[in-house]
Structure 1
């Protein structure tokens, strides 16, 4: 068979298997389609399918096919992160800066501290730190992985539960947006390559100057032209960040973060996010699954995933309770906010991919982070929905 034919077979598997599991298994309540797609990527990776049926795995996922799939995945995740950056609304966060700042700081700092503690445990066990990492990079990277909130998935889940446009939903978006900025900033610091400081300084200087010019240009362009200019800007920023040794995903996030969401119609932005998730991101999930490893052993990987999940969930819930006490939230709000902010989803997977690419973590650590992201996302709706049902009146009047 030709490479094209095998590539199409792989694409058929990628899109068919998760859909059938999701639809026939009726998993929507505890595992939305995006979670099933992530799990399917794990099943189809070398750790499971590759060990059970090595000949079949090598036939379908040969090097030329994987290279083609990676190209699709790179573009899909670049668009997805760009959209996440555009959807940040820092002006609302500034208007409510005391409440947003206190909550975001606690909800980032608490799981970060607990995650760093978990990373130190893994560091002492050996086999989890990447070949190019220094201990502080590994600890900070894994710790920040426990502090991640998946803003795009959070939007989807809150929309599903009917609270996205309510005051409480908008507050949660503000908290998550501020944490997103901090997370990507810390990631850029972790990835700083002192041997490439000149390149990285040049990229930051060029980005700052061009971003100012872009904002002036975008205000003057008609709506139809803004999309084309935005895509060109996205590609250039991603290329520049990767050339500087940061990562193309960092560039994609920065490209979106300097744009105002009001430049684009909200309906079009929602539709673009939906189509990227529908058409491109399943390929990214598969390519992510192809990178999962179990070299340390299945039990050790699951232990690490459980440790990281405990640090992440406990950190977010504790932080939300502390913020609720300081800010005087109504009863029940802190629990809802904490469970929603612990959602990891795609951003965690993207974050872990970057750490793996830069050899900050090993394949086993990547697998543990991936399992933690899946479990975190699957917990969200079952834990939040009953609380919302019992406090619906509270949620409706929250401010």
Structure 2
């Protein structure tokens, strides 16, 4: 077969296999399609398919095919991260700053501390720390992965639960938005390259100036032009952030954070997120699965994933419970908010990819984080749906 034909075979597998499993097994209640796609990416990786059928794996996922898939995945995830940044509503967070600040701070800080404690355990074991990592980078990176909330997946789950447009759903979005900003800031700190600090300072200063001019330009453009200019802005921010030694996904998030959702038709913005998830993100999930590894042993990887899962779930629930006690919420609200905010999936996987790119974690740590993200997301709907039903009952 030609390289083009092998590439199309890979695309056929990427789009058909997860959809068939999701549809035929009816997993939507506990595992939305996006979660099934992530799991299929892991199964198609070198640790499962590559071990059971090494010749077939090497044929389908030959280096030219993987290179093409990685290019598609890079642009897909940049688009997705930009949309996540655009959906941040800092105005609402500022208007409710006391409530938002207390809740977001505790919902971020407690799982961050527990995640760092779990990372401290792995720090002293062989096979988990990346070659280029200092101890504090590894601990803070793992802690951050335990603290993050996947804002785009949170939106999808709340839409399915008919909660998104309700007052409680809007509050949850505010808390998640503030946590997203804090976690991306921590990520930038972890990625600081002191040998290239001049470039990074130049990037931050240039970005602030460019963002001011960009915002002034966008308000003067018709909406049809704003979509095109936003993509140009995304590519520019991604390139310059990567050149400065941060990461192109940090640039993508900053590009989106500068954008205002009000500049675009909300229905079209929702459609763009939906189409990116439908058309491009499955390729990212597959390319992510190709990076998984089981070098320290399958049992140890699952044990590490369970440790991280306990840290993230317990941390979110405890942090939100403390916020509810301080702010005087009804008793039924804190568990709902805590379970929704512990949703991981995409954004955590994106962060884990960045940590792996920078050799802060190993492929074994990456696999454990991936399993933790899948498990935490699968827990969300089964834990939240009955609580919402009780809350809505007369």
TM range (shorter): over 0.9
Deviations 1:304-335 (A, max 9, x none): 00000000000000011100000000121000
Match of 2:42 in 1: 42
- Most deviating of 122-131 and 15-24: 122-131
1:173 corresponds to 2:173: yes
Contact 2:127 2:295 in 1 (8 A): no
Map 1:61-210 to 2 at 5 A: 61-210=61-210
Whole-angstrom distance in 1 between the partners of 2:139 and 2:163: 35
Map 1:208-247 to 2 at 5 A: 208-247=208-247
Contact 2:107 2:316 in 1 (8 A): yes
Whole-angstrom distance in 1 between the partners of 2:200 and 2:173: 30
Whole-angstrom distance in 2 between the partners of 1:365 and 1:225: 43
Aligned-partner SS, 2:29: coil
Match of 1:14 in 2: 14
1:277 corresponds to 2:281: no
Cα displacement (A) at 1:126: 2.2
Q: CA RMSD in A?
A: 0.7
Whole-angstrom distance in 1 between the partners of 2:359 and 2:72: 22
Cα displacement (A) at 1:259: 1.1
Contact 2:39 2:374 in 1 (8 A): yes
1:382 corresponds to 2:382: yes
Whole-angstrom distance in 2 between the partners of 1:258 and 1:7: 36
Aligned in 2, Cα 1:171/1:78: closer, same or farther, shift over 3 Å?
same
Aligned-partner SS, 1:211: helix
Match of 2:289 in 1: 289
Aligned-partner SS, 2:323: helix
Match of 1:298 in 2: 298
Aligned-partner SS, 1:306: helix
Aligned-partner SS, 1:125: coil
Aligned-partner SS, 2:16: helix
Match of 1:309 in 2: 309
State how many pairs are aligned.
394
Map 1:304-383 to 2 at 5 A: 304-383=304-383
Whole-angstrom distance in 2 between the partners of 1:392 and 1:366: 39
For structure 1, the 5+ residue unaligned runs are: 395-399
Q: Which runs of 4+ in 1 moved over 4 A?
A: none
Aligned-partner SS, 2:291: coil
Cα displacement (A) at 1:393: 5.4
Whole-angstrom distance in 2 between the partners of 1:45 and 1:123: 25
Contact 2:44 2:50 in 1 (8 A): yes
Match of 2:250 in 1: 250
Q: Report the TM-score when normalising by structure 1.
A: 0.98
Aligned-partner SS, 2:219: helix
Whole-angstrom distance in 2 between the partners of 1:335 and 1:374: 20
Whole-angstrom distance in 2 between the partners of 1:319 and 1:85: 24
Deviations 1:138-166 (A, max 9, x none): 00000011001000000000000000000
Whole-angstrom distance in 2 between the partners of 1:324 and 1:89: 22
Contact 2:321 2:335 in 1 (8 A): yes
Whole-angstrom distance in 2 between the partners of 1:124 and 1:232: 44
Whole-angstrom distance in 2 between the partners of 1:25 and 1:304: 28
Q: Report the TM-score when normalising by structure 2.
A: 0.99
Match of 1:397 in 2: none
For structure 2, the 5+ residue unaligned runs are: none
Whole-angstrom distance in 2 between the partners of 1:2 and 1:127: 38
Whole-angstrom distance in 2 between the partners of 1:214 and 1:89: 19
